[in-house]
Amino acid sequence: MQADAAAGRAVKRHVLVTGGARGIGRAIAGAFRERGMRVSILGRDRAALDEALAARVADFAVSADVTDAQAMADEIAAASEAGGAIDCLIANAGAAATAPFARSDADRFRAMTEVNLIGVVNAIHPVLPGMTERGFGRIIVVASTAALKGYAYVSAYCAAKHAALGLVRALALETARKGVTVNALCPGFTDTDMVATSLDAVVAKTGRSREEALAEFAKHNPQGRLVDPREVADAALWLAGDAAGAVTGQAIAIAGGEV
């Protein structure tokens, strides 16, 4: 909660989480709602969004593909009409594709860029003018350790996440005197559906057991485990609060010391 000194009461901020029906996005949405915030989630899968609403993860849900700028503008406007102006944006939606660089053509790089960079751009554009006009805003991009270092066989994903972090750093400078902070969270391999799908692919392709595949993922983390989505959510809560008002343009790794 934010303190409203003039009114002497708590202010309910409105938080929008893209990719909010599953994984890290769902954990973040739930954490903010538990703190009493109004929470809207955005995603492509209407059934998953409705399930999240039924589970009381969020107050409102809108459906759009983050790569579609007009749909994003329209649906974010709908969320704002339902829950009020967006005070905090969590740009979490993303996707990963695995292939050696030799089999990663320009189309694969474009696809990864569309989701992981342009999807962030399309989420920020509708909310930033209102934030600057009101003199308060929090923009948090869920990037990845792939924004901070390279990984083999995901060159297109790494390139797109590095680009998203570049956007964060540039926009933080543009908004530094406008009451808006812009930061990135960079989790390592996290216990989500996305990682579960990747584990299934490794098992199917290599014949390894699921335990062996999981160990391959976990070995990147010096703590020897996957990151818990709630750990990412806790970092988002901090960045969204008044106590982090001087923190902007940062990439915060949540990866057990990997980077």
Element (H, E) at 32: helix 23-34
Query: Which of 161, 156, 144, 109 shows the shortest CA–CA distance to 220?
Result: 144
From residue 224, alpha-carbon distances to 186, 220, 248 in Å are: 17, 7, 30
Active site residues: 157
CA 179 – CA 146 distance, rounded (Å) = 29
CA 252 – CA 148 distance, rounded (Å) = 10
> What is the rounded (10 degree) CA torsion for 170, 221, 215, 105?
20
**Strand ranges for 118-192 from DSSP E:** 137-142, 180-187
CA 177 – CA 27 distance, rounded (Å) = 31
Question: Beta strands 38-43 and 60-63: pairing type?
Answer: parallel
CA 138 – CA 86 distance, rounded (Å) = 9
Q: What angle do CA 160, 251, 95 make, to 5 degrees?
A: 30
Q: Which two tokens stand for residue 228?
A: 């818990």
Contacts of 93 (CB under 8 A, 6+ apart): 18, 19, 25, 42, 43, 66, 115, 119, 123
